[in-house]
Amino acid sequence: MPWRTFNVGTLRVPGLSFASTARDATGAPAMICRSLLVDLDDGYALVDTGFSPEDVTSRGRTLGRAFMTLVNPVLDPAELLTAQLEQLGVRPEEVRHVLMTHLDVDHAGGLVCLPEATVHVHAAELEAATSRARAADRLRYYEHHFAHGPRWQAFSDAPDRWQGLPCGPLTGLPDGIRFVELPGHSPGHCGFLFDGEGGRLGLHAGDAFLEVAELVGPSRRTSLAARLHHAAADHDSKLGRTTRARLADAIASHGPGLTVWNAHDPAHVVDGAVTFG
């Protein structure tokens, strides 16, 4: 099944130029919010959605001062999910399934633009985001992103394995689309696997890692930005480290035919080599 990736939110995190290994194709420091669109026989499936129109039109007032200060999102209307879909010639109602790596503010805001879609999310993530029982949950999940009543489809059982990582099918989606449990960043954080054209396999790994350099290359370098991010934003930092190590090993052992993206680094991994897109 064909896939396309695009950016639904640029982040100008303070200090990025010296603290992070993340760079765009020109070599400039950059962070993005990556969404992935997959062609189905009867519409599209989409991974993650970026910010909401209300977040953009309010110039971040709905996001709060702390988030705006720490993350410094550009909030460009041209990067909104609806604008990006229009550029691709896709109507919002054609997106029948949304696959959420997790429900953080910079991933779940665009759900309001897809009210008819089925939203697939891990049960532990859904519980944390909708109950907001812990103080930390109230900082990462925003009620106005879910006020429209999304059509949730929770999953939890992972009966299979991909490169040693628990994975499983998703209700109503083809067998070639699976979730992969990548715990640590949030209570129910997951990635999604896609069977692509020509026997290729794609994995959107969400926030399981911040920068490609954490997973590939001789040093598997963790920058200052990544260390600070994981310490501040991960639900379980120890579990997150374990997930990154297992994911790095999976990439190294898989061999040709694998493309891996995360949510925020413009670079991605294709058959063990770093590229951009």
* Upper half-sphere CA count for residue 10 (Cβ side, 13 Å): 11
In sequence order, which residues have a C-beta less than 8 Å from that of residue 98 and are 6 or more positions away? Answer: 45, 46, 47, 49, 111, 114, 117, 118, 119, 120
How far, in Å, CA of 217 to CA of 204, rounded?
19
Residue 53: which pLDDT band, with cuts at 50, 70 and 90?
A: very high
What is the radius of gyration, based on Cα positions, of the chain?
A: 17
Give the structural domain span for 74.
3-269
The answer as to whether 150 is a domain residue is yes
Structure tokens at 155: 């999953």
The DSSP symbol for 139 reads: H
For the chain, how many structural domains are there in total? 1
Domain at 185, CATH number: 3.60.15.10
Q: pLDDT for 161-202, tens place per residue?
A: 999 999 999 999 999 999 999 999 999 999 999 998 888 999
Which SS3 state, helix, strand or coil, does residue 125 take? helix
Strands 190-195 and 118-122: unpaired
The answer as to whether 275 is a domain residue is no
The answer as to whether 196 is a domain residue is yes
Say what the pLDDT of residue 182 is.
Answer: 98
The answer as to whether 222 is a domain residue is yes
Q: pLDDT for 85-131, tens place per residue?
A: 999 999 999 999 999 999 999 999 999 999 999 999 999 999 999 99
